Structure 1
Amino acid sequence: MTLRSIDPHQAKRLLDQGAVLVDIRESDEHAREHIPGVRHLALSQLDAGDLAALRGRAVIFHCRSGARTASNAAALAAKADATCDVFMLEGGLEAWRKAGLPTVVDRRQPIELQRQVQIGAGGLALVGTILGLTVSPWFLAVPLFVGGGLVFAGLTGFCGMALILQRAPWNRPAGAAARSAA
């Protein structure tokens, strides 16, 4: 079984006929913006049992840009029931939005953790480089350290900056921040 690619308007027609849209992004990404009526099943935690209730229905998988869905298409198709027609939304949430179809946006949610890491690492590298060129070459140790950390994260899957950012006050649920202050 393989995932067939469909555009947002084809997906909308299938949804109107009873298909199920499955968002495979992580929880923080889904909380920030998602398609109304979508079922959220993060790829990192998805197993075949999660899709058992969808037996006999068309299932459309999506992520942010379509790349994550495409790179995991074989695994997603294998987890879907043999009675399901399975599709992937080409271009993902971004294509859905560009097609003028509705999304639910919650700006109170923090931006995705991966983007926070990119902003933090890029900011540190930029500032370290500027300071290294204008103030002291010793500041070039900052982008060197950040670059080494990114390579380590890519090789091992462990990102220290992501762990630190996860614990930042803006990434905690509202009740958790109040409890830790007490």
Structure 2
Amino acid sequence: MTTPEALAIHEARTRLHELTNIDVRTPGEFAGGHVPGALNIPLDRIAQALPDIRHAADRGDVLVVCASGARSGNACRILAENGVTTATLSGGTGAWAADGHELHRPQGAPRAAWGMERQVRLTAGAVVLLGILLGVLVHPAFQLVSAGIAAGLVFSALTNTCGMAALLAKLPHNRPRGVDLEESLAALRSR
């Protein structure tokens, strides 16, 4: 498996006007702040958007962005397997903001949406804690819940995927009204 090309923040910033910028985070994360000009196509919708992304890539370079680089790297690999060459933003939107660059937000969007990694940490920690407490207070078999989460986290680290993130991405707060996949796909077609 090849590692996708990573564009440094300064290089992406100087080339932003010529890149097709695709943000693969959930609509909720996207609404919380994204690199200027980004189109939101969540990672779990990349296959559906493939023809339109290929169309955009035929006309110029495509930059794929997420919070830290993990999901955009996965998206780049999926696209590469389908013949689409892309690059990822080194460090994602976190590094973009840390470097002092503005994140754009849709009109009326919340300013403090939690990132997916933070949501996963909260959920995994809460379920592990619940498993331990129920194992002590109710029945030792409940500790298997904690073991299952631990096994899932190990699998997640080894495969650079996250089933819990995929599930959390489907929750209503991660799919707010106002971010429309069809709108992003139409923008890709017009490039």
What is residue 75 of structure 1 aligned with on the other side?
78
In structure 2, what is the Cα distance between the partners aligned to 1:43 and 1:139? 39
User: How many angstroms does 1:56 deviate by?
Assistant: 1.9
Q: State the 1:90 CA deviation.
A: 1.0
2:66 to 54, 63, 66: 63
Greater Rg by CA? 1
Unaligned 5+ runs, structure 1: 175-182
Q: Deviations over 1:30-84 (max 9, x none)?
A: 2222122101112211142121145321211111111222244332234465xxx
**TM, length-normalised to structure 2:** 0.62
Q: Which runs of 4+ in 1 moved over 4 A?
A: 78-81, 139-143, 151-155, 170-174
Q: CA RMSD in A?
A: 3.8
TM-score for both structures, normalised by structure 1: 0.64
Percent identical among aligned pairs is 27
Instruction: Please name the residue that 2:114 is paired with.
Output: 111
- The residue that corresponds to 2:129 in the other structure is 126
Confirm whether residue 31 of structure 1 aligns to residue 31 of structure 2: yes
The one-letter code of the counterpart of 2:171 is Q
C-alpha distance in 1 between matches for 2:82 and 2:30: 21
Using the TM superposition, give the Cα deviation of residue 123 of structure 1 relative to its aligned residue in structure 2, in angstroms. 3.0
Q: Please say if residues 66 and 92 of structure 1, whose CA atoms lie closer than 8 Å, have aligned partners that are also in contact.
A: yes
- Greater relative contact order, per chain length (Cα 8 Å cut-off, separation 6+): 2
Give the length in aligned residue pairs: 160
Gap runs ≥5 in structure 2: 157-161, 178-191
- The match for 2:136 is 137
What is the CA distance between 1:140 and its match in structure 2?
Answer: 7.0
Q: Which amino acid aligns with 1:118?
A: R
Aligned to 1:180: none
Q: What amino acid maps onto 2:6 in structure 1?
A: S
